[in-house]
Amino acid sequence: MVDSRLSQRILLFSLCFIFSFIIIIFVIKRSSLIENTKNNIDSIISSTSCKHISIDELDQWFHSKTWNEIPKIIHQTWKDKTLRQRQARWRQTWCEQYTGWYYHLWTDDENDLFVQTKFPWFYSTYKQLSPTILRVDSVRYLYMLYYGGLYIDLDYESIRRVDELFNNKYVVLSLINYSFHSMNSVPNSWIASRPNHPLWTYILYRIMLLWSRVTDQERNEFWNGKAEFFTGPQSLFEGLMFYLHSNQHTDQTLDQLFGNRENQKSDSIFEVANITFLGPKLINAYDWMNGIGADVCSAEKPTFDENKCKDIVKPIYAITYWSHSYGHGHENDAKYLGNKRIR
């Protein structure tokens, strides 16, 4: 009788053990299946478009790696998450082509928190910058300094992927033209970089220095060229020259650093002190300074026509339509780049 009871207990224990083992195996396999499904979904997403990520996801991804290349993250910025129709369409050309890349659209509020938490030494200046375009200009340099990646204004259309030119590069800038005397020839509307490159620090300290020297009246009043001078392409150009001169131990102009003028072609690529410069036709294509194609290439004109513009300037990797969405009052015009102007 005792042996029978003992046998029953052993049998019951064995059955419980086997049943528990089966449940554990099932849970493990189910978890693995869920994880594989997530990975497959991510793989599908990355193979068909860029992946939109939150700032928390961006931080987790960014800090999980050691960066010896330009990170595959596209930064763009706007007042909020609602883009005008053309902006959204142009943005989509980048996402559709840059498969395997991450993407984040920064809002004004996110920018403020980003600068406050990551760059407290710049935050006081950042809060004072006025009008808003000065803050929009400044924060893109901070994206590059902290995360690196590719920053693009919202009026750029991607023609085909350019990241094939990013291999072993540190900073990649684009040219509008070779008229460097104007200091507007190297725009800050399309920039790419590895994280922590010192170029961006030169530019940010220049902004802080210049802003500290102006009067309250000059800070608050608007004048044509204010953004370009304080935070825009002229700020980028002067910071760039400070960096190149200190790095190269020379006072040569950018023209001279590029060498033979015969080499300055629209699709040329130059390397100076680990800065890569892409010729005008490669990224910007439309040169607002020479006016060629302005009637159809400028998004500010009622005669704007993207297809006619591309026929004229023949872009290679990308094109900008210089919409000046910020700084010319257009940020407050709900119809600008909206439905009524879609062709």
| pLDDT tens digit sequence for 152-209 | 999 999 999 999 999 999 999 999 999 888 889 999 999 999 999 999 999 999 999 9
Contact between 257 and 245 (Cβ < 8 Å) = no
Residue 30 and residue 69 in one domain? no
What does DSSP assign to residue 275? E
340 vs 205, more confident: 205
Residue 20 and residue 147 in one domain? no
Residue 215 and residue 201 in one domain? yes
Q: What does the alpha-carbon distance between residue 5 and residue 13 come to, in Å, rounded to a whole number?
A: 12
pLDDT of 106 above 80: yes
Q: What does the alpha-carbon distance between residue 336 and residue 95 come to, in Å, rounded to a whole number?
A: 23
Q: What does the alpha-carbon distance between residue 73 and residue 193 come to, in Å, rounded to a whole number?
A: 10
Residue 214 and residue 327 in one domain? yes
- Helix and strand totals (H; E) in the chain: 14, 10
pLDDT score recorded for residue 324: 78
In this structure, what CATH number is given to the domain that contains residue 256? Answer: 3.90.550
Of residues 256, 232, 233, the one with CA closest to residue 244: 256
Average pLDDT over residues 307-333: 82
Which of the four pLDDT bands, split at 50, 70 and 90, describes residue 45?
Answer: very low
pLDDT score recorded for residue 343: 31
Please return the burial class of 262, using the count of CB atoms within 10 Å of its CB with bins 0-12, 13-18 and 19+.
exposed
Element (H, E) at 236: helix 233-248
| Rg, C-alpha atoms of the chain | 26
Distance of CA 36 to the CA centre of its chain: 30
Domain that holds residue 21: 1-48
Residue 243 and residue 283 in one domain? yes
Count the domains in the chain. Answer: 2
Residue 55 and residue 29 in one domain? no
Final residue in a domain of this structure, among 48, 68, 83: 48
Residue 105 and residue 241 in one domain? yes
Of residues 130, 138, 83, the one with CA closest to residue 114: 138
Residue 37 and residue 158 in one domain? no
Residue 19 and residue 98 in one domain? no
Q: What does the alpha-carbon distance between residue 294 and residue 299 come to, in Å, rounded to a whole number?
A: 9
Residue 188 and residue 333 in one domain? yes
Residue 15 and residue 99 in one domain? no
- Give me the chain's average pLDDT, please: 85
Final residue in a domain of this structure, among 12, 32, 48: 48
Residue 15 and residue 133 in one domain? no
191 vs 264, more confident: 191
